[in-house]
Amino acid sequence: NEYDSCWLRYECVPDDRLDAYRRRCRHAYVAEEAPELSAVRDELRRALPALLGTDPHLWQHPPTTAEGFLAVGTPDDMAMIAESVPTDVVDDLADGGYLLKSVTWNGQDCLVVTASTDRGLVYGTFHLLRLLNTHEPVADLDVREEPAYENRLLDQWDTPFHRSVERGYGGESIFDWERLPDLRPRYEDYARLLASVGVNGVVFNNVNTTKPARPSANVAFDAFEGWQLLEPRRLEAFTSLASVFRRYGIRPYLSVNFAAPMLVGDLDTADPLDEDVRAWWRAKADEIYELVPDFGGFLVKADSEGQPGPYDYGRDHVDGANALARVLEPHGGRVWWRAFVYGTHEDRAVQAYDTFEPLDGDFADNVTVQVKNGPIDFQPREPVSTLFGAMPETDLGLELQITGEYTGQGVHATYHLPMWKEILDFDTHADGPGSPVGSLFRDDGEGIVGVGSVGEDHSWTGHYLAQANLYAFGRLAWDPEASAESVTEEWVHQTFGADEQVGDTVTRILHDSWEVCIDYETGGLGLMHMMHNAEEYLENHYDPAPEEWPGYHGATEEGIGVDRTSTGSGYAGQYRDPVAQRYESVADCPEELLLFFHHLPWTHELDDGTTVVQRLYDNCFAGVEETKRLRAEWQSLDGKVDERRFRHVAERFDEQVAQAERWRDVLTDYFYSHSGVPDEQGRVGDD
C-alpha cells in the first residue's frame, strides 16, 4: 500500500465472533442516496467483507429477505427502524448523535444504526465497525451517543502551493492544490479517518497565510501566499475538495488573511470599518457560498507573528472579527478568531487574557475565540489558559496541538492524550468548584480544535505511534470524559490487533511517554521553552538551547523559574480563587508547575527534602532511562508487529534515546553552570 490504513484496518475477526456478526450482517440496508449515505455504503463495502470474509448483500430498499440484516437509516426510512427505536428519542439527539441497537425482526437477529441526521449515520456506522473490529459482543447492543461539542475541527497547518506542512512531521502536504479539481484517493481516506472519530470540520490551510516575518534562503517565499486561496480559480478547485469531505459530514473552512481585500482585491485598505472593505468581504463570502453551500467559515490569525490585523487600522479584535462575522452570518458561517497574540508584556503568559478578557460580550454571535490550551505555546506541560471560564459571554474554542512541535516532532513517541485529559479535567472554578475546562465550551458555536499532523508519509503522521494522537483527539473532542484507558485500548486494538502482549506493551509505551518527554525536555518542575530557535523561518524547536530563551525560565546564579505571582508578572492572579491562591503560594503550587509560577533558589527544598536543582538533575536522568525502557519495550515486539512498522518505530526510538541524552546533557550542564551546585550522584559537572 502507498500508505497505512491506520485504525481502519478491518482484519478478519476471530472464529468465536464470526457467526454472531455474520448472522446480523449478511445483508445491509442503507437508506437513500444522500452523499453521506453513499459514504456509509462504501465503508460497509470495504469493511464487511474484510472483517467477515463474506460478501454481504447491500440493499437500497428495505430488504425482502428472511435472513438477519444491518439497517442504517432514519426512522422514516424503514418501518423496522421506526418500530425498533422510539422516534422521539432519535429526534432528541444532538446533531451527529446516533443509536446502535440489536433487535429481533421477523424472527431474525438484526442491527440498527439510526440518527436524525445523515452525519449521525456516518458516525454510527463507524462506531459499529469499531465494535466489530475490536471483537465486541453485539447481541445486546444498546448504544446512545451524542457529541459533547458542536464543533470538532481539524486545523490543517498545510501551506498550499508549497505542499509543506508547518510543524508537520509526516512529510509534504497530502493536498495538491495545483492538481485540483483532480482528486487523489488519499483525500477520501483522510476524510474517512477523520469521520471515524467524529471530526466535523477541516480548515484546509495554515493560519500563516502571508509571507513569513523572518525570511530564509531555504524557503520558497511566494509559496506562502496562502491568501491566494480566495482567488476565484482557487475557490473553484476548493469545491472539489469540499465534495469529498462533505460525504463524511465534514464542513470545509479556510484560513484567511485579514488584509485579503488588499491582497486578493485591489483595495488600498483592509480597515474593518471601511464600507468598501465590508462590501468586498460580503461579495467574497457570497461567492464562496455559491460554490460551497456548506462552507464552515474563516479561521483568522490577526495581529500575531507578522500577520496583519485590525490593529493596523487602529481597530481592535472585536472590530476585526465582527466585520468578517457579518458577511458569514446570512450563510450560517462562523469566524474562528485566534487568541494567540503577543503584546507589550515582558511575560507573554499574561497577554491573551489581558487582550481578550475585556472584550467579553462584544463579539458577534457567530464568532468563536480560539484559545490555545496554555498561555505560552503548546509546551510539553503548561498550566491551562486563564481564558477558560473568563469569557462567559463569548463562544470559546479550545485549541490543542496534535502535531508534536515541542514533544519530539514525530520522531519521539509522545502520546498527547494524558496531557489533554489533564487539561480537560482541570477545575477552573469558573462556576464554583466542579467547573473543569472540558465543561466550559459546550454551547452552540463552541468546540475543540486540533492543529493537524498528517502528511504524505506512509505512516501519515511521521511515526506510526503518533497516529494515536490523531485518533485520541477526535475521540476526546467527541467525549472529553472518555477514559484514557478506553480510548487507548480502542486505538491499539484496531491498529495492532488483538495480541495481548502487543496491546499491553504499546499501551504502556503510550501512557508513559508524555511524562518521560517532560522529564528530559524540561526537568519536570514547570520549566519550558528551552529549545533551539535557529535563524530559519521555521525555528527548529527540536534541539535543546536553554541559553537562547533566558526570559522563559529565569535561570540566574541564585535561582531558577519565573515569578508569575503578584510580586512578578501577576499571571497567577488571572485565575479564579482558589486556583489563583494555589499557584500564588510556593507551598501549595503543584510541583510539576512550580518553576512556571515561582523563581526559587537552586537549593530550595521540595516537599520530600530534595533541592530544586537536584530534582531537575534527577528528572533529566530519569527521562533518559525511561526512554531506554520504552525502547526496550518496543524491541520486545520484534516478530509480533509487521516488519515495516516494527523497524520504523525501532529506528525512531534509537533517535529518541540519542535526543533525550542530548537534552539531558545540555540542560543539566546549564543548570550546573548557573547554580554551581554539583549533582549528588556525580553525574554532572566535573569532566
Catalytic residues: 305, 377, 405
Is there a contact between 382 and 405 (Cβ–Cβ < 8 Å)?
A: no
Closest approach, Cβ 527 to ligand BDP, in A, equals 17
User: Which residue number, 305 or 431, has a Cβ lying nearer to ligand BDP?
Assistant: 305
Binders of ligand BDP among 301-320, rule CB under 6 A?
A: 301, 305
User: Which residue number, 119 or 167, has a Cβ lying nearer to ligand BDP?
Assistant: 167
Residue 134, by phi and psi: left (phi above 0), alpha (psi -120 to 50) or beta?
Answer: alpha
User: Which residue number, 305 or 577, has a Cβ lying nearer to ligand BDP?
Assistant: 305
Q: Which of 166, 446, 479, 563 binds ligand BDP (CB under 6 A)?
A: 166
φ/ψ of residue 278, rounded to 5: -60, -45
Q: Which of 3, 340, 441, 670 binds ligand BDP (CB under 6 A)?
A: 340
Binders of ligand BDP among 647-666, rule CB under 6 A?
A: none
Decide if residue 207 touches ligand BDP (CB under 6 A).
Answer: yes
Is there a contact between 85 and 99 (Cβ–Cβ < 8 Å)?
A: yes
Side-chain half-sphere CA neighbours of 89 within 13 A:
15
Binders of ligand BDP among 388-407, rule CB under 6 A?
A: 405
Binders of ligand BDP among 589-618, rule CB under 6 A?
A: none
Q: Which residue is nearest to ligand BDP (CB)?
A: 377
Binders of ligand BDP among 368-387, rule CB under 6 A?
A: 377
Give every CB contact of residue 659 below 8 A, 6+ residues apart in sequence. 408, 411, 412, 542, 543
Side-chain half-sphere CA neighbours of 79 within 13 A:
5
The C-alpha atoms of residue 241 and residue 248 are separated, in whole angstroms, by: 12
User: Which residue number, 130 or 167, has a Cβ lying nearer to ligand BDP?
Assistant: 167
In 385-477, the DSSP E strands lie at: 395-401, 447-451
Closest approach, Cβ 380 to ligand BDP, in A, equals 13
Decide if residue 158 touches ligand BDP (CB under 6 A).
Answer: no
Closest approach, Cβ 419 to ligand BDP, in A, equals 16
x/- track of binding to ligand BDP for residues 404-423 (CB under 6 A)? -x------------------
The C-alpha atoms of residue 411 and residue 661 are separated, in whole angstroms, by: 14
Closest approach, Cβ 453 to ligand BDP, in A, equals 13
Binders of ligand BDP among 518-577, rule CB under 6 A?
A: none
Q: Computed from CA positions of residues 220, 226, 228, 233, in that sequence, does the dihedral angle turn out positive or negative? A: positive
In 124-189, the DSSP E strands lie at: 142-145, 151-155, 158-159, 164-165
The C-alpha atoms of residue 26 and residue 32 are separated, in whole angstroms, by: 20
Give every CB contact of residue 499 below 8 A, 6+ residues apart in sequence. 640
Decide if residue 326 touches ligand BDP (CB under 6 A).
Answer: no
Is there a contact between 418 and 485 (Cβ–Cβ < 8 Å)?
A: no
Report CA-CA distances (Å) from 372 to 347, 376, 386, 469, 562: 16, 8, 10, 17, 21
DSSP 473-536: HHHHHH-TTS-HHHHHHHHHHHHH-S-HHHHHHHHHHHHHHHHHHHHHHH-SSS----B---SS
Binders of ligand BDP among 277-306, rule CB under 6 A?
A: 301, 305
User: Which residue number, 401 or 659, has a Cβ lying nearer to ligand BDP?
Assistant: 401
Closest approach, Cβ 503 to ligand BDP, in A, equals 35
Q: Which of 26, 27, 167, 475 binds ligand BDP (CB under 6 A)?
A: 167
Map grid coordinates 475565540 to a residue.
369
User: Which residue number, 405 or 456, has a Cβ lying nearer to ligand BDP?
Assistant: 405
User: Which residue number, 128 or 207, has a Cβ lying nearer to ligand BDP?
Assistant: 207
Closest approach, Cβ 596 to ligand BDP, in A, equals 17
Sites of contact with ligand BDP (CB under 6 A): 166-167, 207-208, 301, 305, 340, 377, 405
